[in-house]
Structure 1
């Protein structure tokens, strides 16, 4: 029977008996012998003796000879590690002297998983869908009034911007206003100042009156030059829009109970409105002098009755004059403003 320690080292039956005796001796003298001495003796005996013995029996003897206490083996102390048990085919090859084959282990290299990039935080898009009308918050009466007031204020602000309410400041153009500006009003109320200026104006000498008139005339010329320059900075279209905005502001002031006046800007470039046939008849009747010493209301009622009493042939001269003036208005309007009049546009749309 053969015992194997390694592929090249074998022990005989006598060596096995000797090893058993050594193990028993070691166990009896565990406290006196050192582990290093025992290991040296064991290695020396293993190198001298060679015999065929069972591998399993020798492995059990060696494992028992190294352990001092039952349980887990202690840490490695420098001795050669015990060989693992080989399969039966490997044992037969070792007995026949066939050299061991190097085990071929395919070490599969695992690829480290790629580090995941942190997901970007996408901004949540606000929905542009309009809320259904049923879910809209209803405004109270107070909120509605505040909103209407805010809208009216914004509209008025826009109208004032279009109305060109920033013309050049006018200098005093009359002798009385010139005297009022030259007279100090310090320590006096407005009424007291007006009374004092009126008293001075009545008692002016001819030389002083001449001087005041001369200053007023110079200021008037300066005002006209400044106003003409200001008009040149705005186109006729802007002046037309400004006059329309001033009309709206005047109506709003009247509704609010204000007496503020927004006069139209006088510009020669503005196209004059076309006259109607009745306007030509009215002008002719006023120029005749038949309506003297009569009230305006009475004059209007009388001329209206006369116009309705005219026949078609009698109205024709006035209508022809009105047609010629209408043609003139269309031509000038298109030339100055660059577009056709509103009534002509409406006529084209309805046609």
Structure 2
């Protein structure tokens, strides 16, 4: 009871401090007792000392000792190198791709070298020297080119005769030769000959239609060039081949008709008169040429005018058909 009463009396004298600062509270409590001469009371003295010890120990326990501080510093020092190692690992991990890149960059030139070596291995194509042709070889080559340009007719253009039709019909089975069949044709009756002549005319008309169709399958300019090539082949191969019929002129009804020379017009007129009947052509030509030379200029003029008019027409048609101008309108 005494203690409780003393505490109540001293409560008003104690300063209002924070309850957390217990050491200061104990000291203030002790001083207040000393001022009131309460030190003689052993119980209160003991309580004050007890309070001082307990709060002193708690305060001392909260503050770290020097040994603890050293331990904490050592732990921190030990942890710092570990962090450095991890960063070093990270940096090394980042640097590894750079090494790969450098390796890939180094590998690229090797590929280029391989391509260069492969290109070097391919041997350069040697240019063949042009063969120098002899005059004979040049002539043969020119003839081949002319034959190619001359166009080959795919069927025969000869006129069919009754004898040919009869011979082909009799010798068809192979029992009779062509020679024997031709001889037998002389012994057949006139009615049979008339029959085979009729068949021959039909075959001739069929061949002409096919020939015309083949000619029209080519342009007029192609036929013109083919005729020029055929004319050149006739000159080059004359006396060197058995027949020049394969190089005969191709008849094209689309070609413009040439104008006749005044003398030729006069000659055609004189032959049509009948004055040179039963006279050889060569002899008739000699007589007609003498007559032409004896004509006066006024007598020749009608033939010359006709020829000039025909030449102008030919030049116009030539340009329309072939698309080029003719070198000479006169024949």
**Which TM-score tier does this pair reach, normalised by the shorter chain?**
0.5 to 0.7
Deviation readout 1:143-162 (Å, 9 max, x if unpaired): x6xx3333222222221222
- Residue 177 of structure 1 pairs with residue 161 of structure 2: no
* 1:333 CA drift (Å): 0.7
Partner residue, 2:235? 251
Partner-residue secondary structure (3-state), 1:229 = helix
Larger helix percent: 2
Instruction: Tell me if the contact between 1:171 and 1:219 (Cα under 8 Å) persists in the aligned partners.
Output: no
Please point out which of 283, 291, 298 is paired with 2:283: 298
- Residue 271 of structure 1 pairs with residue 256 of structure 2: yes
Partner residue, 2:303? 318
Give the whole-Å Cα distance in 2 for the aligned partners of 1:216 and 1:311.
Answer: 50
* 1:229 CA drift (Å): 1.7
* 1:307 CA drift (Å): 2.5
Give the whole-Å Cα distance in 2 for the aligned partners of 1:187 and 1:175.
Answer: 20
Residue correspondences, number: 218
Please point out which of 256, 263, 268 is paired with 1:283: 268
State the Cα RMSD in Å.
Answer: 3.7
* 1:177 CA drift (Å): 1.0
Please point out which of 136, 141, 151 is paired with 2:138: 151
List gaps (5 residues or longer) in structure 1.
1-110, 345-351
Instruction: Tell me if the contact between 1:178 and 1:215 (Cα under 8 Å) persists in the aligned partners.
Output: yes
Q: Over alpha carbons, which structure has the higher Rg?
A: 2
List gaps (5 residues or longer) in structure 2.
1-101
TM-score by length of 1: 0.51
Give the whole-Å Cα distance in 2 for the aligned partners of 1:215 and 1:197.
Answer: 17
Partner residue, 2:181? 197
Instruction: Tell me if the contact between 1:246 and 1:263 (Cα under 8 Å) persists in the aligned partners.
Output: yes
The residue correspondences of 1:157-172 to structure 2 (distance < 5 A) are 157-169=144-156
Give the whole-Å Cα distance in 1 for the aligned partners of 2:183 and 2:155.
Answer: 31
* 1:170 CA drift (Å): 6.0
* 1:205 CA drift (Å): 4.2
- Residue 242 of structure 1 pairs with residue 229 of structure 2: no
Please point out which of 203, 216, 223 is paired with 2:207: 223
Q: Residues 151 and 278 (structure 1 numbering): CA distance in 2 closer, same or farther, change over 3 Å?
A: same
* 1:171 CA drift (Å): 9.3
Deviation readout 1:43-91 (Å, 9 max, x if unpaired): xxxxxxxxxxxxxxxxxxxxxxxxxxxxxxxxxxxxxxxxxxxxxxxxx
Partner-residue secondary structure (3-state), 2:227 = helix
Partner-residue secondary structure (3-state), 1:234 = coil
Give the whole-Å Cα distance in 2 for the aligned partners of 1:148 and 1:218.
Answer: 49
* 1:127 CA drift (Å): 11
Instruction: Tell me if the contact between 1:173 and 1:219 (Cα under 8 Å) persists in the aligned partners.
Output: yes
Q: Residues 187 and 252 (structure 1 numbering): CA distance in 2 closer, same or farther, change over 3 Å?
A: farther
The residue correspondences of 1:53-92 to structure 2 (distance < 5 A) are none
* 1:266 CA drift (Å): 1.6
Instruction: Tell me if the contact between 1:275 and 1:322 (Cα under 8 Å) persists in the aligned partners.
Output: yes
* 1:220 CA drift (Å): 2.5
* 1:304 CA drift (Å): 2.7
Q: Residues 307 and 207 (structure 1 numbering): CA distance in 2 closer, same or farther, change over 3 Å?
A: closer
Deviation readout 1:83-136 (Å, 9 max, x if unpaired): xxxxxxxxxxxxxxxxxxxxxxxxxxxx999787649467798999xx9xxxx9
Partner residue, 2:85? none
Give the whole-Å Cα distance in 2 for the aligned partners of 1:287 and 1:172.
Answer: 26
Partner residue, 2:48? none
Instruction: Tell me if the contact between 2:230 and 2:248 (Cα under 8 Å) persists in the aligned partners.
Output: yes
